[in-house]
Amino acid sequence: MQNSKKVVSELNSAVQKFNQTMRSVGSGRPDAQSAADCFNRLVAAITDIDKRLLALEEAQEAKQPS
């Protein structure tokens, strides 16, 4: 199965937001919105991965003879 462009995009976005969060913490000015955005991007990626796994499981079950 090919990588999902959506998952890759969400993970890349999460990494960018995490880096932004870490820079803000290092500067003494925590950026709560960046931290929340990072978490939300990770949840979106995990949700997409879960949907893909479910589709694979359903396809596998449909192929198995009864």
**Residue-by-residue pLDDT tens, the chain, 66 positions:** 678 888 999 999 999 999 999 999 889 898 899 999 999 999 999 999 999 999 999 999 999 876
Structural tokens at position 63: 């192929």
- SS3 per residue for the chain: CCCCHHHHHHHHHHHHHHHHHHHHHHCCCCCHHHHHHHHHHHHHHHHHHHHHHHHHHHHHHHHCCC
Handedness of CA 14, 15, 18, 23 (dihedral sign): negative
Model pLDDT, residue 66: 62
